[in-house]
Amino acid sequence: METTSCFCVAAVVVFVFAVLWRLPGGGRGGRPAALGGVLVGASLYVTGPPAACGVVLLGCSFILMCATERSDELLPAQSRAVLVTGCDSGFGHALAKQLSQLGVKVFAGVLDVNGAGAQQLRQRGSDNLQVLQLDVTDGSQIETAHGHIRTQVAASGLWGLVNNAGVLLCPMDAELHPMAVYRRHMDVNFLSAVRMCQVFLPLLRRSRGRIVNVSSMAGEVPMPMFAAYGASKAALSVFSRVLRLELSSWGVSVALIQPAGFRTNIFGNSDDITRYRDEILAAVSSEAMEDYGKAYISSLPSSLSRMSRRSAEDLSPVVADMCHALLAARPRAVYTPGHLGWLLPFLHRCCPTAVFDAIIASFPKHADCEPAGLKRS
């Protein structure tokens, strides 16, 4: 009995070490894997026979440690070509720089080929980095980019497509979103990515390459004020998961990046905030105006500035996961970089609805005041 107890204690020690070893890879799913392992191990330790408990914990430890080693094995970067959309700023801009440094041939699609972001990329003077005019909602620009890239990659094909371009516009109550805002979100965040995949998949199949679609935590977790943005990202997430299953037989991998809050230009500037405020006030119905109040509605665009200040400045966790999805020997299906990036989806799946709703309700409010109708009631 004493030997069995010692064996079980030793197994617990090894398991705890394996969990701690796995945690640093949280951006690539290490934390969810570790958390799942903790739950399994704890339940076995409490309810199972000591010998069986020790064997299972050692097995879990081996799986966790081996999974970490496999996930960090990268393919050679040279002689691979990747197209990244939305490279004017933010994730796409940083990814284009990182990939070119690694030796990947990068086609950086930008909304404004004469803009500051495009000029910064060109000033790097890298032979591995080409800046392309690419509004992902413009079919003619997509076809022009496709023709150019096809001549560049020749028979080797395109290794990677990163659908990063996206818009957030203004968070607000679902009832207050003009229909044009819903359509804009779906057009940029979802339908453009579908179109890009359809156009470039023949080149991706030729190389048995990778598609990386940038979604959001809001695409999996219901977040107040993010009905339009979250719905478009949820559509992209489901599309990506279906595409992953369909393309596996072709040898093409599909990965989904679901970042939490990071500070990028998606939050807009002061001019954008003023424009959003004018557009909302012009489109809202008289009944909604009476119930919500002009003060509440006018305060909504200012939430973009607060969200930007609360977001993480360091984009490297997202860029690292994008690079991993493109170059890892065994890429993950889903990446969740950022604080709460894995925790909130986990709680949403596992908590009772009332508990999760209470968690979301505890988050800071987006507006400076309450709707006028709620104050009256």
User: Based on the domain organization, do 258 and 178 belong to the same domain?
Assistant: yes
Asked if residue 129 belongs to a domain, the reply is yes
45 is catalytic: no
If we measure between CA atoms, which residue out of 173, 324, 311 comes closest to residue 256? 324
Choosing from 45, 229, 292, 296, the catalytic residue is 229
CATH number of the domain that residue 328 is part of: 3.40.50.720
Asked if residue 87 belongs to a domain, the reply is yes
Length of the chain: 377
- The residue whose two tokens read 């309450």 is 370
Q: What is the pLDDT of residue 181?
A: 92
Amino acid at 56: V
Q: What tokens were used for 57?
A: 């914990």
**Residues sharing a CB contact under 8 Å with residue 166, sequence separation 6 or more, in sequence order:** 86, 188, 189, 214, 233, 266
User: Based on the domain organization, do 9 and 41 belong to the same domain?
Assistant: yes
Query: Which domain-ending residue is among 41, 71, 101?
Result: 71
Sign of CA dihedral 361, 317, 187, 248: negative
The widest CA-to-CA distance across the chain, in whole angstroms, is 77
The one-character DSSP state at 216 is -
Task: Give the three-state DSSP class for 70.
Answer: helix
- Residue 351 lies in domain: 81-361
Asked if residue 142 belongs to a domain, the reply is yes
Triad 189, 191, 196: Cα angle to 5°:
95
Q: Are the beta carbons of 101 and 125 closer than 8 angstroms?
A: no
Reported in sequence order, the residue ranges of the chain that DSSP labels E, i.e. its strands, are 81-84, 105-110, 129-133, 160-163, 210-214, 253-257, 334-335
C-alpha 343/C-alpha 34 separation (Å) is: 12
User: Based on the domain organization, do 209 and 63 belong to the same domain?
Assistant: no
User: Based on the domain organization, do 260 and 122 belong to the same domain?
Assistant: yes
C-alpha 309/C-alpha 62 separation (Å) is: 41
Asked if residue 328 belongs to a domain, the reply is yes
User: Based on the domain organization, do 52 and 141 belong to the same domain?
Assistant: no
Give the β-pairing of 334-335 and 160-163. Answer: unpaired
C-alpha 319/C-alpha 317 separation (Å) is: 6
Q: What is the pLDDT of residues 36-72, one digit of tens each?
A: 555 555 555 555 566 666 666 566 665 555 554 445 6
Mean pLDDT of 206-225: 94
Question: What is the number of domains present in the chain?
Answer: 2
- The residue whose two tokens read 């596992």 is 350
Asked if residue 161 belongs to a domain, the reply is yes
Asked if residue 373 belongs to a domain, the reply is no
Asked if residue 368 belongs to a domain, the reply is no
User: Based on the domain organization, do 197 and 232 belong to the same domain?
Assistant: yes
Q: What share of the chain is helix, strand, coil (3-state, %, to 5)?
A: 65, 10, 25
Alpha-helical regions (H) of 124-251: 139-153, 179-185, 192-207, 227-247
User: Based on the domain organization, do 231 and 256 belong to the same domain?
Assistant: yes
Query: Which domain-ending residue is among 71, 97, 116?
Result: 71
User: Based on the domain organization, do 23 and 141 belong to the same domain?
Assistant: no
Rg of the chain on CA atoms, in Å? 23
Asked if residue 94 belongs to a domain, the reply is yes
Q: What is the pLDDT of residues 163-188, one digit of tens each?
A: 999 998 888 999 999 999 999 999 99
User: Based on the domain organization, do 53 and 98 belong to the same domain?
Assistant: no
Q: What is the pLDDT of residue 262?
A: 75
Task: Assess whether pLDDT exceeds 80 at residue 306.
Answer: no
If we measure between CA atoms, which residue out of 259, 233, 235 comes closest to residue 334? 259
If pLDDT is split at 50, 70 and 90, which confidence band does 195 have?
A: very high
User: Based on the domain organization, do 281 and 325 belong to the same domain?
Assistant: yes
Mean pLDDT of 289-308: 83
Query: Which domain-ending residue is among 51, 71, 91?
Result: 71
- Tell me the whole-structure pTM to 2 decimals: 0.80
Which is more confidently placed, 198 or 270? 198
How far is residue 278 from each of residues 274, 301, 362, measured CA to CA in Å? 6, 10, 30
- The residue whose two tokens read 């369909």 is 246
User: Based on the domain organization, do 191 and 52 belong to the same domain?
Assistant: no
Task: Assess whether pLDDT exceeds 50 at residue 24.
Answer: no
User: Based on the domain organization, do 60 and 119 belong to the same domain?
Assistant: no
Lowest mean pLDDT among 26-30, 202-206, 267-271: 26-30
